[in-house]
Structure 1
Amino acid sequence: MSSTLNALTFTDSTKVAILYRDEEITYVDLNQRIRQKSKNLRKIIKEGYRIVLESKMHPEFIVNAFAVMQAGGIPVLKPPFLRPNEDGDIINDIKANMIQSGGEWNILCEKVEKFDNDSEIIFYTSGTTGKPKGVVHTKDTILTSCATEGKLLDINSSDVIGGTIPLSFTYGFGALAIIPFLFNTKVSIFHSAPSLNNVNEILEMIEKNNISIFYSTPSTYRMMLKEAKEYELSSLRLIVTAGEMLGTGLYHRLRRLIPNAQIIEHLGCTESFHAICSNVPGNVKPGSIGLELPCYNVKIFDGINECPPNVLGKLAFSGPVGSYISEKNVQKWNYTGDIAYKDSEGFIWFVSRNDNMIKTAGYLVSPHEIENILQMCPLVSEAMVSGVPDSMIGQKIRAYIVLDDQCSPSETFKQDLINFLKSKLACYKVPEDIQFVKSIPKNERGKIIRNNIVPNP
């Protein structure tokens, strides 16, 4: 049986474990569902089977993940909203033995390839080069990071935790499927991706379920602010945020609206499972991503040496960390790909990505991946994709297109390109805006100068 599962408080208790829409699932109900699903899976899987689970915001997703663990398999949690070709890439990369979709559990391959460590679960990164990487986590990274965070946030059995983060991300799974059951709390799960169309439902969920700790992203909090005055939100004591930078403006707007709630901004990554640094109740610096967690060592490097206080450098950490499927994690320091600095009190301040990745609505998107898809179209000569500031989602994705001489710019062709992208990419990767340009500026080495684009008049 999974050692992670053994550490969670799935006791035979009539206390409510999960709140989902109008459904209440007690700890005893949850335990029974996991055991029954595990019993059924043992009849069809082998020890070590890598099983790709369908991504959805539903209690059944939690049941499936833990049941696979209990049956001796390894659940593979992939990013949501993927297209079939992206799904296929992950299935091939992980050498999946089985895939679950709806009520179907289909065996793909019976040969089991064992990992060197006691693997518990696999998550996929957003992809720093456009291709997501599979990260294998063990009990050590899962429980150490989540238990440390829970203690720092003073989470206890009287809390009701809620959130909108996809369960297939480490941030969401840790916040909504590990921490609640480590600390014997209730957890309230929102049923779909946040949007302006359902933000009132999110606020109703907080009010109805008396949520005390809420995990989400700045883009969701921006949407919530528009309607929040109509709801009673005094149950909130902690508003936890990650995925993109909150900013001091949004921080203070949230504080004015919900003065009794402390706003906890932190930073983590798929490799660390959960936060490596965080503000904590009673010790918050607005705009910072907080202090390093006790289980991690977080430093800023100039490439070789550690930077002195208030000097920009590359953010790196050591401590409990997952391992990539395709390579060994042998380095002492794990670089997050962020530029940051540490002040004289040890608080860490995020500045930017050290590459051109786009952060949109909490997702990390590679412009190069979108450019490659655009250039599959024979009428596109060149393409450049970048993020432009957006007050709601942090950055929106804009594509600049140089057309082939045989094609003229038109709204019809623009829509054709968008439809083409929608068929190839997850929805959050599709540009909201396409502009036609005469040329894309490059430096002397042929690299695109991304901040010097002039659209056609």
Structure 2
Amino acid sequence: MSTEMRPEQGIAGKFVRSALDENGVLSKIEFTNSENFNFAYDVMDALAERKPDQTALIYVSKDRTIEKKFTFQDIKDYSNRAANYFKSLGIRKGDKVMLVLKRHYQYWFTMMALHKIGAIAIPATNILKATDYQYRIEAAGVSAVVCTSDDGITASIDTFADDKLTKIVVNHPVEGWNFFDEGIMECSTEFPRPTGEDAVGGKDDILFVMFTSGTTEHPKMVAHNHLYPLGHYITAKYWHCNKPGEVHLTVSDTGWGKALWGKLYGQWLCEACVFVFDFDTFSADTIFKLIEKYNISTFCAPPTLYRILIRMDMSKYNLSSLRYCTTAGEALNPEVFDVFKEKTGFTIYEGFGQTETTLTIGNLENTTPRPGSMGKASPMYDVRIMKADGTFAAPGETGEIVINIADGAPDGLFMEYYRDPQRTAEVMHDGFYHTGDTAYQDEDGYFWFVGRVDDIIKVAGYRVGPFEIENEIMRIPYVLECAVTSVPDSTRGQAIKATIVLTEGTVGDENLKKELKRYFKENIASYKRPRVIEFVDEMPKTISGKVRRVEIKEKDWK
């Protein structure tokens, strides 16, 4: 195996050194010159100097009537204007600024501007309620909001906002709010990099705080430092396979962590172009047409969307520009992997990580994915499988995914749960970060997802992970989505339940339940068979699109 470290090409070469093994697979990586690293200055402004006319961002409005293209020079100029504008409104280093910007292009200007000032970005999704925004603003100590004019969100925030909150709106003016689009155009395109006490960057300054999806009553606040973007170089270069000048599309709202994986840091470190479609409702037909029109080369979407795509006739679209497809957010069912490859010829390269990490486990470039496996550990992380007694699992044994932090946290791992030392201590202790996700590792080093620690079902003395059962159920053609959880059982203690969303036109009646139970008997071991079946129109999901098994379970156990 090669251990010769070499600088990466392009702008990343100043900060990233790597080594490949004999098969061309990334085997080692390290970050250099990162003591005061600030992505906005050291990457984006540097790209504006090197490649001022190269397209950095393509934006298409939800009705596809507005198209905007921004070069690296444009990003520098607009972010400088925004930084000056924010400073004129009193925003300073260390201030917390909540962003509710959907997929509006102003998000990218705003993020870079806040990085330059040293203010802390706090992205939030537009589908929250007024009480959710209030909780986030109060919990994080937010002093300013940059908000879309869509969806009545400004009115929601006005119901509780006081005079101390600086309110900024984009796209259309709103009474009582500062209008970003006009305000920045009155400001200079020059914004010198702060020095001395105002300088910002490196591992000690918070870059952003991201709220988790909220599978518990109060979502956690995940704080990352300025080295986090470097951690996503692996995400973009060796997992998404982004290349300079090519166009990348990740289907994600800017209010959750996946946007930082696929719509910002790694892509621009790779000097690729980020494609943004500002939709409200997902349409696979529209996505495919945009891939055709804009020659999109690399594509990433959550498994939920791939489940929709495989039910379509994809042969009528010209996908010749597309060369690489990835997925993350939740585990990918082997059935979806197989059908998508059969229909398109594309392998889906799965990856695993959390809001707290960058890409932790994945099927990197030049590897051979195994359907249903998350892949192998990223060389940036020392990943282990730990049993409940604190010992490490043997191949094939299920345990919790943990990351070694005995010698310090790797770049890309979060700093802390903001303002919550108790929660931080619960997951970072004894030299490891505990992810709360369970898996097993095979003899060849591939990881296989089992479920969240709290998802494990105990039936008649057996410990059962929901994902393997869901994989089998997903093989049934008329099943669109499914979730496996436990229900109370007087004999076994717990029984297994399958909650199922059917494809359009399929009738979920007692006859279909009998048919499913016959299928379970023929294909699933007796102790793992669902005893209860419920058909639903849609699954309860987090704001990031993950199925909330916990909500289904709580309803049944109550």
Please give the TM-score of this superposition, normalised by the length of structure 2.
0.62
SS state at 2:450 partner: strand
Structure 2: segments with no counterpart, 5+ residues: 1-35, 61-66, 167-199, 405-409, 457-465, 471-482, 486-496, 505-536
CA contact (8 A) 2:236 2:262 kept: no
Sequence identity of aligned pairs in percent? 22
SS state at 1:334 partner: strand
Q: Measure, in 2, the Cα distance between the counterparts of 1:326 and 1:427.
A: 23
Q: Which moved more, 1:165-174 or 1:96-105?
A: 96-105
SS state at 1:20 partner: strand
Q: Measure, in 1, the Cα distance between the counterparts of 2:543 and 2:373.
A: 31
* Counterpart check, 1:209 vs 2:294: yes
Amino acid at match of 1:327: D
SS state at 1:40 partner: helix
Aligned partner of 2:324 in structure 1 is 238
Q: Measure, in 1, the Cα distance between the counterparts of 2:440 and 2:396.
A: 5
Q: Measure, in 2, the Cα distance between the counterparts of 1:427 and 1:171.
A: 8
| Corresponding pairs, count | 379
Q: Measure, in 1, the Cα distance between the counterparts of 2:379 and 2:109.
A: 31
Aligned partner of 1:444 in structure 2 is none
Task: Report the alpha carbon displacement of residue 90 of structure 1 after superposing the two structures with TM.
Answer: 0.7
Task: Report the alpha carbon displacement of residue 194 of structure 1 after superposing the two structures with TM.
Answer: 5.0
Q: Measure, in 2, the Cα distance between the counterparts of 1:177 and 1:294.
A: 22
Question: 1:36-47, aligned counterparts within 5 Å?
Answer: 36-44=81-89, 45-47=91-93
CA contact (8 A) 1:200 1:227 kept: no
What is the aligned counterpart of 2:102 among 18, 38, 56? Answer: 56
* Counterpart check, 1:134 vs 2:221: yes
Q: Measure, in 2, the Cα distance between the counterparts of 1:429 and 1:348.
A: 20
Structure 1: segments with no counterpart, 5+ residues: 368-385, 394-417, 436-446
Instruction: Check 1:134–1:448 CA distance in 2 against 1; reply closer, same or farther (3 A cut).
Output: closer
Q: Measure, in 2, the Cα distance between the counterparts of 1:125 and 1:448.
A: 20
Question: 1:36-435, aligned counterparts within 5 Å?
Answer: 36-44=81-89, 45-102=91-148, 108=164, 117-144=204-231, 146-153=232-239, 154-195=241-282, 198-225=283-310, 226-259=312-345, 261-272=346-357, 274-283=358-367, 284-303=369-388, 304-318=390-404, 319-320=410-411, 321-322=413-414, 323-328=416-421, 329=424, 330-331=428-429, 332-356=431-455, 388-390=499-501
Q: Measure, in 2, the Cα distance between the counterparts of 1:70 and 1:300.
A: 39
* Higher radius of gyration, 1 or 2: 2
Task: Report the alpha carbon displacement of residue 289 of structure 1 after superposing the two structures with TM.
Answer: 0.5
Instruction: Check 1:172–1:194 CA distance in 2 against 1; reply closer, same or farther (3 A cut).
Output: farther
Task: Report the alpha carbon displacement of residue 294 of structure 1 after superposing the two structures with TM.
Answer: 0.8
Q: Which moved more, 1:8-17 or 1:25-34?
A: 8-17
Task: Report the alpha carbon displacement of residue 314 of structure 1 after superposing the two structures with TM.
Answer: 1.2
Please give the TM-score of this superposition, normalised by the length of structure 1.
0.74
Task: Report the alpha carbon displacement of residue 391 of structure 1 after superposing the two structures with TM.
Answer: 6.2
Q: Measure, in 2, the Cα distance between the counterparts of 1:315 and 1:430.
A: 20
Q: Measure, in 1, the Cα distance between the counterparts of 2:309 and 2:275.
A: 17
Q: CA RMSD in A?
A: 3.6
Instruction: Check 1:257–1:336 CA distance in 2 against 1; reply closer, same or farther (3 A cut).
Output: same
Q: Measure, in 2, the Cα distance between the counterparts of 1:271 and 1:311.
A: 25
- Deviation per CA, 1:235-279, whole angstroms, max 9, x where unpaired? 2221110112221111111112221x332101110111x210101
Aligned partner of 1:7 in structure 2 is 42
- Deviation per CA, 1:196-247, whole angstroms, max 9, x where unpaired? xx22111111111111111111111222231422211122221110112221
Q: Measure, in 2, the Cα distance between the counterparts of 1:240 and 1:6.
A: 29
Q: Measure, in 2, the Cα distance between the counterparts of 1:238 and 1:193.
A: 25
Q: Measure, in 2, the Cα distance between the counterparts of 1:69 and 1:227.
A: 43
Instruction: Check 1:193–1:309 CA distance in 2 against 1; reply closer, same or farther (3 A cut).
Output: farther
Instruction: Check 1:41–1:187 CA distance in 2 against 1; reply closer, same or farther (3 A cut).
Output: same
